[in-house]
Structure 1
Amino acid sequence: MIQDFDTYISSFKERLSSLFNSEYDYNTLSLTRGLPPSFMKEIMDMNPLSVAIPENYGGRGVQVKECLSVLAAASYESLSLSLTFGINIALFLEPFAKYGHPAVQAQVFKQFLKQQAMGGLMITEPGYGSDALNMRTAYEQQADSYQIKGQKHWQGLTGAANYWLVTARKKNENGELTRDIDFFLTDNGQEEQKIDVQQHYNSLGLYAIPYGINNIDITVPTDHRLTPESTGIKLMLDTLHRSRLQFPGMGMGFIKRMLDESLQHCETRRVAGLRLNEMDSVKFQLSRLQAAYTICSAMCSYSCSISSIHNDLSGHAVDANSIKALVTDLMQEAAQICLQLSGANGYRLDHIAGRGVVDSRPFQIFEGSNEMLYTQIAEAIAKLMRKSKEPNLLAFLKKNVATEYAAPFFSSLLNFNLADQPKQRDMVTLGRIIARVVCFQYVLSINNAGFNDKMTEITRQHMLMDVSMFVGQLNSNNDAEPLLNYNEHSDWINFTSL
């Protein structure tokens, strides 16, 4: 019988806390490349990845609420551990459960449940980065198999995952690659499917997760190709949007930890006879953390309502990109605030805040850099505005279902017309604004369901301040461009009076 989830997640949190804070030295773990096998076995013995495996294969049923709860429990103790789970859940198990061949699913899911297997996703290539549609990894169909050749890099769990979903484009008879993208399951336990790791990268943070560059020259059976509902590109968008919508699970525990650590430190630390939390500037920073906690909570609630594998998320670019970009910005800001409040102690790699600053930073880059995602949000809204022939941002957002309740809270700031051809830098800023309006609507939704009114008001004030700042940035009309020959007439020593 599957254990009641409330009981399971409670014991899971308790066990993680014991492992990270009592049985093992977290400070040592945070400075070590990879996690000790004995330590990981203790964690995987609790079968956390069962939340992303269908019930008919022995799992808990791929319930979004359970998946996010496991991610949040892990990220409270370790962002690296949570990302390890996130890679497995959102980038392997969920798409494989939705699109994989049933006969192959049975074998693979059994390995996850019984042998603590892990899986990941290979999209990014050295020469193309976020330009996935131009990937060069290619496949050719044989009689009863597919031959895949190419190179991938920056995949989390490089060399450590047992299974991969590898993306490739079909090579035509004339040697050209088709536009569409296909996904293939690979099993590193089979010699002809094994992916060679050329090099492990010396990554700046997330020490527990190996990254590197992979050479692919493999052959997989025909039933290892995932079956899209329409096109492979839509399969990829569905997968990536679902993953982005579930980022708040990783953000939730992490932001809560930064908040809890900061509150505890500011309660006990005294400066000039005052507790830190009695100082106005510190109150402001602590309230920023509580606003981030509230927004992330609202994002989790929204994700539970929309990101099931039974839904097609390929068209959910605005909400998925808004959530991913904003929550990762909030994670980095939360870590920076916690570090600043911690003083000199925070500036240590083995301090929870110092570690958090380094480990949360790549979240703003991978799965689409935030600048790119904010631009895509703005472009999508601008396109809809043109289609509806509505040039005024406030008027449009009041009519849009994703922002209709939140937009009035920003009426004095958003009542302007979009430029016909805005600069790209302004599109990034506009995307930051829209993402906050979109996500504040999630805050209003959970507030209506009974969430803390005072936390909602704190969040409203900070979102209003942020949007005001970004609108000011738009109005600054900054068109500064870099000088390539900046050294000319710019050596300070030539302008001294002595």
Structure 2
Amino acid sequence: MSIASYLSEELGSSVEFETFRESFRETLDNVFSRRADFDQLSTRRGLPPFVMREIQSHTPLSVFIPEEYGGRGGHVHECQAILAAASYESLGLSLTLGINGALFLQPLTKYGHEEIKGSVFERFIEDKNMGGLMITEPDYGTDALNMKTSYTENGDGTYHVEGTKHWAGLTGWADFWLVTARRRGQNGDLGRDIDFFVADMNQPEQMVEVEEFYENLGLYMIPYGRNNVDIRVPEEHRLQPESTGIKMMLDTLHRSRIEFPGMGMGFLRRMLDEALEQGRERFVGGKPLIDYDQVKRRIAEIQASFTACSAMCLHTSEHAGLEHNLSGATMTANSIKAVVTDLMQDASQSLLQLMGGKGYRLDHVAGRSVVDSRPFQIFEGSNDVLYQQISESVLKSMRTAEETNLHAFLQDHDLTSRAADYFSDTLDFEVDQSLPQRRLVELGRVLGRVVTMDMVIELGDRGFRSDLISNCLQVFQKNVEGLITTYQRSQSTSVIEDYGDGAAWLDYVDA
């Protein structure tokens, strides 16, 4: 079931791309299932050279590169489809492609100097180079706008960039980096805006030094670590924002978040296929697992996640092109990223539960999927923070519209108007504009799922299987109603920091 079938006509996938994608999928299947045992490969860090060589022989990153530079054109639906093909076999591989595409190639395409684009893209296509993005610092993750990496102008047409970056995917592997930094003034103060610089690891003065490789809990395929940045780059290596650097960063990050469903799509399909196979083939008490009601519930929820992610892929394909400035797309980007990554983690947990003890291993798809999908809820914006921002965005819009009733507001919002009809009673209440953070997060979870339901309804209108659409909407409706109950009953329990005195249970044993 290809999402390309439901795209608007001007985005319809070509036969050529279907051939390209199918060839890529066959290679992945051959590499991970025939030439090597991926369950065994997944317990070791990195990848054997032949695996990346086979994968890169198809130049999958060409889908992110414009046609005038030898790529396939940067069509978002093609990017989503390639990410999905990869994530069915390996979430780490899909993330590797996603890092290259969304966090390097797309921002370079949109904001890079023409003088460097040609040579960089040529190296990606001909030499199979890779690139990544460095934003996070040891003391500045969520608080990225206060990063301490800085740059100064040298007076000879170059910039000196220095600082420390960590948790950049592809540490030690990438041939290019986009490094973020703030301008350092003559008095030593750092400017408020953010700039991006292309660093070429083939140039000694631009090389980023790896100080430490991290023992990341999952995603063994991808190296992470701490990097010392002390580089000098030509002025044409600085990206050119349309307005401010912060808006350029938001446009880049929002686009990347909106493209998460590509990575989620193949992963969720794999979770569903594995769960269905286990349900049919595993017998307990003389009957297959899938005949048990609780098992049906778990698999139905995974299937609903598959359908919801399909709807997100459709939306992404038609709204995330580089011609769109997504710096203001907080509600869309945060809803898609937070919800789809929650669905991925929930699906992996359910699959592990269905697999039982045999799944609790790194060399089994169930156990591996739990640890590999977990960081997706953390990087590129912690989901708790993203849900809070969704609520803050909606509350701000409600103030502007002078609307206090949540259902009335959502009925008139482009992202939620159709889904709001499912909650005419549930969401019919006045919203307090001074909610504490925990309730903002709870409300954001609700809003993100209502946004998702609206996308599912649109997918259904395009002709997607009606039984899958109906089941998905039922699952999400029940989920939202449960979340609303939590939101409305939320109490501000406090943390007792000095909890030790009087808190040893053994003192109260009546022996």
Range of TM-score over shorter length: over 0.9
Alignment of 1:94-493 (within 5 A): 94-142=106-154, 143-493=156-506
Matched, 1:87 2:99: yes
- What TM-score, normalized to structure 2? 0.96
2:395–2:433 Cα contact (<8 Å) kept:
no
| C-alpha displacement of 1:3 | 8.2
Q: What letter matches 1:127 in structure 2?
A: D
2:138–2:165 Cα contact (<8 Å) kept:
yes
Matched, 1:48 2:60: yes
Query: What is the alpha-carbon distance in structure 2 between the residues aligned to residue 117 and residue 340 of structure 1?
Result: 40
Query: What is the alpha-carbon distance in structure 2 between the residues aligned to residue 475 and residue 446 of structure 1?
Result: 31
Query: What is the alpha-carbon distance in structure 2 between the residues aligned to residue 357 and residue 47 of structure 1?
Result: 29
| C-alpha displacement of 1:452 | 0.9
Query: What is the alpha-carbon distance in structure 2 between the residues aligned to residue 390 and residue 267 of structure 1?
Result: 51
Paired residue secondary structure (1:46): coil
Number of residue pairs the alignment of both structures matches = 497
2:171–2:225 Cα contact (<8 Å) kept:
yes
| C-alpha displacement of 1:496 | 1.1
Of 17-26 and 360-369, more deviation after overlay is shown by 17-26
Q: What letter matches 2:53 in structure 1?
A: K
1:37 to 43, 46, 49: 49
Q: What letter matches 2:55 in structure 1?
A: I
Q: Using the aligned pairs only, state the percent identity.
A: 51
What is the CA deviation profile of residues 398-440 of structure 1, one whole-angstrom value per residue up to 9, with x for unaligned ones?
Answer: 0111111110112221111111311110000000000011111
What is the CA deviation profile of residues 31-79 of structure 1, one whole-angstrom value per residue up to 9, with x for unaligned ones?
Answer: 1110111211111011100001110010000000110111000000000
Query: What is the alpha-carbon distance in structure 1 between the residues aligned to residue 388 and residue 343 of structure 2?
Result: 18
**Residue aligning to 2:10:** none
2:199–2:237 Cα contact (<8 Å) kept:
yes
RMSD: 0.9
Query: What is the alpha-carbon distance in structure 2 between the residues aligned to residue 260 and residue 3 of structure 1?
Result: 26
Of 13-22 and 239-248, more deviation after overlay is shown by 13-22
Query: What is the alpha-carbon distance in structure 2 between the residues aligned to residue 423 and residue 139 of structure 1?
Result: 38
**Residue aligning to 2:8:** none
Q: Which runs of at least 4 in structure 1 moved beyond 3 Å after TM superposition?
A: none
| C-alpha displacement of 1:481 | 1.1
**Residue aligning to 2:3:** none
Unaligned runs of 5+ in 2: 1-13
Query: What is the alpha-carbon distance in structure 2 between the residues aligned to residue 268 and residue 428 of structure 1?
Result: 40
Query: What is the alpha-carbon distance in structure 1 between the residues aligned to residue 427 and residue 44 of structure 2?
Result: 48
What is the CA deviation profile of residues 71-113 of structure 1, one whole-angstrom value per residue up to 9, with x for unaligned ones?
Answer: 0000000000000000000000000011111120111011100
Query: What is the alpha-carbon distance in structure 2 between the residues aligned to residue 296 and residue 460 of structure 1?
Result: 13
Paired residue secondary structure (2:425): helix
What is the CA deviation profile of residues 116-143 of structure 1, one whole-angstrom value per residue up to 9, with x for unaligned ones?
Answer: 1000000001111111110111101122
Of 102-111 and 2-11, more deviation after overlay is shown by 2-11
| C-alpha displacement of 1:172 | 1.0
Unaligned runs of 5+ in 1: none
Query: What is the alpha-carbon distance in structure 2 between the residues aligned to residue 33 and residue 123 of structure 1?
Result: 23
- What TM-score, normalized to structure 1? 0.99
